Amino acid sequence: MKFLDLAKVYIRSGGGGAGCVSFRREKFIEFGGPDGGDGGHGGSVWAEAVEGLNTLIDYRYQQHFFAKSGQPGMGNQKTGKSGDDIVLKVPLGTEILDEDEETVLADLTVPGQRVRLALGGNGGWGNLQFKSSTNRAPNRANPGQEGVERTIWLRLKLIADAGLLGLPNAGKSTFLAAVSNARPKIADYPFTTLVPNLGVVGIDGKEFVMADIPGLIEGASEGRGLGIQFLAHVERCKVLLHLVDGTSSTITKDYRTIVSELEAYSEVLGDKPRILALNKVDAMDTKQISDRRRALEKASGGPVHVISGVAGKGLQDVLRALIAEIEKGNAKPEEIAPWRP
C-alpha cells in the first residue's frame, strides 16, 4: 500500500428541498385550506477518525465528495426526504486544514471522533407554515437553503510515542527492526527509508509505538534531500531518539546538522526531549568509542548512549530511557514532582 500524508479534497453539503404550495381538495370538506409540506434537509459532510488506516491514499483517486440534497415537500402535509450525509473516513492523527493550509479546523486523534465539515441546507417551509388567522390561504413557500461548498486539506501526522531521527544511514531502520515488530527496508545506501514506518516496542512488560522517518541532511529545511516534509510525523511524539553514526569522521557536525534542522522546522520540535545515542559501535574499537562518545557529550551537553542495532548492544538501556520519558509525558501535571533547587 502506498503512503500518502497530504491530500486536497473538495466537499459540498446538500441543499435543502423547496417547500410545497398545495391546497386540500376533498369531498365534503368545504374549506380545505393549505397542506403544502416542508422540504427535506440537505445532507452534511463529516470526517471521522477510524482505526486500521495509516495512509490517505484513498483521497488521491477521489477528491470530490458531494452530499445529497433534500427532496421538495409535497401536498397532504408531506415533508420531503432529507439527503444522506457523507462521512470521510480518515486515519487517527489526521488534521483537517482550511484551504489556506494553515488554519486547523480539527485534529482527529481518538477512534470514532467526528467533526462536521459542511452543514446541509435547511428545507424550505411549505405554505402550510404560513397559514394564520388573517391569511387562511397562503400562496407562498420558501426555497431550500443552499449547501456549503469548500476546499479542505487532510494532513496525516502519525501517532507515536517516540520518534527516530538521524542522517541517512545512521542505522534508524536497523534499530527499529531490532527492537520492534516492524520490518522496514534495510540497505547500505542512503535514503533507504522513503516513507515513515511504525513499530511496537516492548520493554519490561510495557509497550510503546516508535516512528522512523526518512533521514535528514544539511539544508533539509530548504528542500534538500527529502526535505522536512516527514518531520510532522514526529511532532506528536513525547520523546525523540537521535542516532549518530559512530563510524562517521564528523560525528559532532552530524549531530549539529540534525539539531539545526529540527530548530528550523519548529520551536516545539526543537524543544522536545531528546535522547542521544552513538550507533554502530560494533564496527569500532574501544578507543574510538571512548573518544567519539566524549566528543558527542561535549557537543550535546548531555549523556550519550552507546549502542549497536546489528549486535543488539545497549538497546535495553536506551529503551528504558525512552519509556521513562514517555511515562513522564503521559503523567498529569499534578503527578510530576515539583522542581526544587
Q: Does 212 show up as a binding residue in the annotation?
A: yes
Q: Is 337 annotated as a binding residue?
A: no
52 in a labelled binding site: no
Q: How far is CA 42 from CA 17, 45, 121, 322, in A?
A: 7, 10, 5, 50
Is 280 annotated in a binding site? The answer is: yes
- C-alpha separations of 39 from 10, 80, 133 in Å: 26, 5, 24
Distances (CA, A) of 70 to 40, 61, 87, 120: 4, 27, 17, 9
188 is in an annotated binding site: no
Residue 281 labeled ligand binder: yes
* 199 annotated ligand binder: no
Q: Are 16 and 40 in contact (CB under 8 A)?
A: yes
- Cα Rg for the chain, rounded, in angstroms? 29
Question: Does 209 count as an annotated binding residue?
Answer: no
Is position 191 annotated in a ligand binding site? yes
Is 309 known as a binding-site position? yes
166 is in an annotated binding site: yes
239 is in an annotated binding site: no
Q: Which residues contact 281 (CB under 8 A, 6 or more apart)?
A: 246, 289, 306, 307, 308, 311, 313, 314
Q: Rounded to whole angstroms, how far apart are CA atoms 39 and 108?
A: 33
192 marked as binding residue: yes
Q: Is 282 annotated as a binding residue?
A: yes
Is 326 among the annotated ligand-binding positions? no
Binding site annotation covers 167? yes
168 is in an annotated binding site: yes
Residue 190 annotated in ligand binding: no
- Residue 35 is labelled as binding a ligand: no
Answer yes or no: is 54 a known binding residue.
Answer: no
In the annotated binding site, the residues are: 166-173, 191-195, 212-215, 279-282, 308-310
In the annotated binding site for Mg(2+), the residues are: 173, 193
In the annotated binding site for GTP, the residues are: 166-173, 191-195, 212-215, 279-282, 308-310
